[in-house]
Amino acid sequence: MHQNQDNNRRTFLKESITTAAGLVMGSALSAEAISGSKHVTASQQAPLITAPKAPRIRFSVIKMNHGHIYSQVEAVIRGGGELVSFYAPEADLAAAFAKRYPQAKAATSEKAILEDNSIQLVLTSAIPEERAPLGVQVMRHGKDFMTDKPGITTLDQLAEVRRVQKETKRIYSIMYSERLENRATVKAGELVKAGAIGNVIQTIGLGPHRMTPKSRPAWFFDKKQFGGIICDIGSHQFDQFLFFTGSKKADIVASQVGNVHYPQYPKFEDFGDVMLRGDGGTGYIRVDWFTPDGLKSWGDGRLTILGTEGFIEIRKNIDPAGREGGNHLFITDQKETRYVDSSKEPLPYGEQLVSDILNRTETAMSQEHCFLATELALKAQKQAQTINQKK
């Protein structure tokens, strides 16, 4: 490996760990904060781990090429998981992980974890194109699997994962963290379920990100490896669309992608948007890598949920009006507009997933929902028209 790639990975890892610490207990940063925010305040840095539940399952990690692995691990620990072992072929990534989790044993190989019959769950944040093949191996070894998004990068991979999941009856969970690990979005789910804004008509999901190219590993710039911008960061938005509209099927009306500002990275995409129509509502998605340095966050992630009796807007990471931290929820109904501080809302995904592993249930996320969100992202990515701007 070239020295500059090695240095980039170390920088990327350092920023990932710093940011993940703010993620774990619901700080202003969402799980997309791998770019590292230089503006995180002390008030946003909650303690790394609160008292976890007594261990209910044993789990391990295989590959950790993305800093999201830390919030994945924390979610399972909060839910009652015991981190037993880990494996990463990159020595620097393994060393950083071992320092963070000294209770976990460094495995000698993937095989050592796959063949450990005491392990019930395997987590990964491998290079995106490697996640589905690893998940197939995990399920065939009788274990459940939780991956960072995008959990699958091609429709062929999706077909194989669906087939093996159906055969093995194992759990293949993708951690769509913009919903599952964002406290305001969890709160919005409760409000919508309670009928606070009537029937949902549309969701608008915006996922802007800061580029920070010097901190990114080489695979970050290769569409084949990360799957494309809609497949990658757009996957969050498809998950939220399905969840809030209650759609069980949907069609891509139109999609487009482009690399409008980074010709030095010809295999990269910096902008994408999608219109979609489901049997429970419509949706619009926009994702990009154009967060300016002047914003005190890696991105002003937003979700608007339009209902027949009102609407909800979530500012996931920052309130431009000046409120500290993230998890800002605004709701307008037939009576008033009010602000809901969601910073202390519980995050149930980890505990629900652990319970699903023990009880063979689907309380954290149905398997069909997990796969449909990915299928829509992959179809939108595949059929997207290319933007060619001449300026």
pLDDT digits (tens, 9 = 90+) for 316-336: 999 988 899 999 999 999 999
Average pLDDT over residues 130-149: 98
> Which residues on neighbouring strands pair with residue 272, listed in sequence order?
257, 287
60, 83 Cβ separation under 8 angstroms: yes
Q: For residue 53, what pLDDT band results from cuts at 50, 70 and 90? A: low
State the residue range of the domain holding 302: 179-347+378-386
34, 22 Cβ separation under 8 angstroms: no
Task: For residues 220 and 171, state if they share a domain.
Answer: no
Flag whether pLDDT at 8 surpasses 60: no
Predicted confidence at residue 389, as pLDDT, reads 83
Flag whether pLDDT at 10 surpasses 50: no
Among 40-44, 118-122, 179-183, 356-360, the range scoring the smallest mean pLDDT is 40-44
Domain boundary residue, one of 145, 175, 205: 175
Predicted confidence at residue 11, as pLDDT, reads 46
Q: Which 8-state DSSP code applies to residue 116?
A: -
Predicted confidence at residue 322, as pLDDT, reads 87
Q: For residue 51, what pLDDT band results from cuts at 50, 70 and 90? A: very low
Q: Is 17 or 322 the better-scoring residue by pLDDT?
A: 322
Does residue 159 fall inside a structural domain? yes
pTM equals 0.86
Q: Tell me the C-alpha distance between 115 and 143, whole Å.
A: 10
Q: Tell me the C-alpha distance between 332 and 105, whole Å.
A: 50
Average pLDDT over residues 176-187: 97
Element (H, E) at 287: strand 282-288
Domain boundary residue, one of 175, 202, 229: 175
Average pLDDT over residues 276-290: 98
Domain boundary residue, one of 156, 175, 194: 175
Average pLDDT over the chain reads 89
Flag whether pLDDT at 28 surpasses 70: no
218, 8 Cβ separation under 8 angstroms: yes
Flag whether pLDDT at 110 surpasses 60: yes
Average pLDDT over residues 154-159: 98
HSE-CB for 184 with a 13 A CA cutoff: 29
Task: For residues 156 and 193, state if they share a domain.
Answer: no
Q: Tell me the C-alpha distance between 224 and 348, whole Å.
A: 33
CATH number of domain containing 295: 3.30.360.10
Task: For residues 185 and 262, state if they share a domain.
Answer: yes
Query: How many domains, in total, are found in the chain?
Result: 2
Predicted confidence at residue 320, as pLDDT, reads 84
| Phi, psi for 66 (deg, rounded to 5) | -125, 140
Does residue 354 fall inside a structural domain? no
Among 30-39, 77-86, 115-124, 380-389, the range scoring the smallest mean pLDDT is 30-39
- What is the β-pairing status of strands 328-332 and 271-278? unpaired
Among 30-44, 157-171, 373-387, the range scoring the smallest mean pLDDT is 30-44
The structure tokens listed for 52 are: 């976890």
Does residue 303 fall inside a structural domain? yes
Task: For residues 254 and 301, state if they share a domain.
Answer: yes
Nearest in space to 311 (alpha carbons), one of 280, 294, 336 = 336
